[in-house]
Amino acid sequence: MNNPLTAATNAPSDTSDSSDPAGPPAPGLSLSVIGTGYLGATHAVCMALLGHSVVGIDVDENKIRSLASGTLPFYEPGLQELLRRMLACGRLSFSTDFSAAAGADIHFLCVGTPQKPDSPAADLRFLDAALARLAPHLDRACLVAGKSTVPVGTAERLAAFLRSSSPAGDQAELAWNPEFLREGHAVEDTLHPDRLVFGVASRQARALLDACYAPVIADGTPVVETDPATAELVKAAANSFLATKISYINAMAEICEATGADVNQLATALSYDNRIGGRFLTPGLGFGGGCLPKDIRAFTHRAKELGVGQAVGFLQEVDAINQRRRQRTVDLITEMACGDPAGVHVTVLGAAFKPDSDDIRDAPALDVARMLHQAGAKVTVFDPKAMNNARRAYPDLAYADTLEAAVTGAEIVALLTEWDVFRRADPAALGTLVQRRNIVDGRHALDAEAYRAAGWDYRALGAPSKLPAPVHDQAVPTAEPLVML
């Protein structure tokens, strides 16, 4: 069989062609994916691409209707085209009916595990409910593979439930196969992950996961086989490490701010040390999203339950450093507004928690926009993909439909999510639209010198300000034709 990973990379995205570019349906496994959000929809589509027959199941009727009609209910680069191709070739379907999962070889659990509303703990209600709905349909030997991020010990509890509540009894086995994909790179990360982690309790479970991921493994991806508890912990440890790395550099940014040192140069110097590396070492507004913040809190909570809270006590500091970045960004904007943002027109560029995503869960940009709005600033937000989600969640903020409209008349521009379109914007052209050339680069994403050369007062968190002129005294040049936006 051709490796479908190669087919995915080379295939055209035109779905009007009746010949399936991924090749004819391959004799793969039968899979169900329970929960079709950011993770589950990506997993379902990519597993179909690997040659398996996949049904995606969710309790959200609108989401299932949308997916079944070939419309991705969220933005993820490249996924929409693949969804249509997999639906067209007949290997992928969606349903709200759990009986559609009956007979599958592997059932992947991909439902949400958000933070509880009133506690740092993970809310496992959705996972428990999903397994309770699935279990009655499991009447033959099969594997239930958890992919959601869960507190260590969850798999053991769910395995006992599965054995006692499914008609298959001991023939229905539970494994944990945590997921490490990043939003914005979800397809690439699923098809070419850094590693696969199989938390299994039997050779049959390992064999089924090997068969499922065969093309990915054949591509050279390392597999770590372990027990389910270790697999659950790998995920918590990985996200905690990533969050720690970000907060570490942001802690250095705080020190730089107190000393006039430059955190960008510091990060660059650190990154040349191969033992440290440069990834996840970009200072700025810090991390948000549906995962890192809630995962470090859930991990801390679980460690306390286990009596080893001290072991990860530092994660509370990681969280605190991260939250302080948001307030510091508001403070920097307030400084630019001569100490009071009330009535000042602030344009916030970015709403998603990161570029190339429309996900606004715990989005730092929107949190800052909210704080500024509460302080009386006239806040206008623009994001290339997250506008609908942002409007729904923060109806009190003002929104613009284009970058140009967003910055027109701004007294302070704050770049808070580093979309490429913002990075590429021409500072001189932008400068013709604003009322004042004041910019806060919350992500160290812009060319500071280019902005300064174009007459902007450029400031970034943790970088020396090199103030060119008092904020409200700058003359604004007359409007010139706008190019390169």
Ligand X SMILES: O=C(O)[C@H]1O[C@H](OP(=O)(O)OP(=O)(O)OC[C@H]2O[C@@H](n3ccc(=O)[nH]c3=O)[C@H](O)[C@@H]2O)[C@H](O)[C@@H](O)[C@@H]1O
Ligand Y SMILES: NC(=O)C1=CN([C@@H]2O[C@H](COP(=O)(O)OP(=O)(O)OC[C@H]3O[C@@H](n4cnc5c(N)ncnc54)[C@H](O)[C@@H]3O)[C@@H](O)[C@H]2O)C=CC1
Q: Is 179 near ligand Y (CB under 6 A)?
A: yes
314 lines the binding site for ligand X (CB under 6 A)? no
Rounded distance, CA 271 to CA 269, Å? 5
| Residue 109 DSSP SS3 | strand
Task: Tell me the residue number closest to ligand Y, measured at CB.
Answer: 37
Task: Report the C-alpha gap between 243 and 284 in whole angstroms.
Answer: 13
Q: Does 393 bind ligand Y (CB under 6 A)?
A: no
Angle at alpha carbon of residue 35, lines to 32 and 38, rounded to 5°: 115
- Is 288 one of the annotated binding-site residues? yes
Query: Closest distance between ligand X and the C-beta of residue 471, in Å?
Result: 26
Confirm or deny that 354 is annotated as ligand binding: yes
Least separation in angstroms between residue 226's CB and ligand Y is 18
Q: Tell whether residue 248 is a contact of ligand X (CB under 6 A).
A: no
In the complex, the smallest distance separating the C-beta of residue 454 from ligand X, rounded to whole angstroms, is 26
Out of ligand X, ligand Y, none, what residue 112 binds, judged by CB under 5 to 8 A for its kind, is ligand Y
Entry field: residues in the chain: 485
Q: Which is nearer to ligand Y, 197 or 365 (CB)?
A: 197
Element (H, E) at 74: none
State which of residues 76, 81, 105, 183 lies at the interface with ligand Y (CB under 6 A).
Answer: 183
C-alpha 73/C-alpha 60 separation (Å) is: 11
- Contact present, 380 and 439 (Cβ < 8 Å): no
Window 330-369: residues binding ligand Y (CB under 6 A): none
Check: CB of residue 173 under 8 Å from CB of residue 145. no
The residue count for binding ligand X (CB under 6 A) is 21
291 in active site = yes
H or E stretch at 166: none
Tokens 């009190």, located at residue: 396
Tokens representing 5?
Answer: 């990973």
Minimal distance, residue 115 CB to ligand Y, in Å: 10
Write out the binding residues for ligand X, residues 104-163 only, by CB under 6 A. Answer: 149
3-state secondary structure of 64: helix
Contact pick of 15, 32, 36, 432 for ligand Y (by CB under 6 A): 36
Q: To 10 degrees, the CA torsion angle through 161, 167, 169, 175? A: -60
Q: Scanning the structure block, which residue is given the tokens 């300000």?
A: 465
Nearest to 343 by CA among 380, 377, 379, 381: 377
The CA-based angle 459-463-464, given to 5 degrees, is 85
Q: Within positions 268 to 307, which residues make up the interface with ligand Y, using CB under 6 A?
A: 290-291
Among 44, 49, 57, 181, binds ligand X (CB under 6 A): 181
Binding to ligand Y by residue 112, rule CB under 6 A?
Answer: yes
Using rule CB under 6 A, residue 56 touches ligand Y? no
384 vs 464: CA distance, rounded Å: 30
Binding residues for substrate: 180-183, 235, 280-284, 288, 354
Binding residues: 58, 63, 113, 149, 180-183, 235, 280-284, 288, 294, 354, 361
Binding residues for NAD(+): 58, 63, 113, 149, 183, 294, 361
Binding site for ligand X (CB under 6 A): 149, 179-183, 239, 242, 246, 280-282, 284, 286-289, 291-292, 353-354
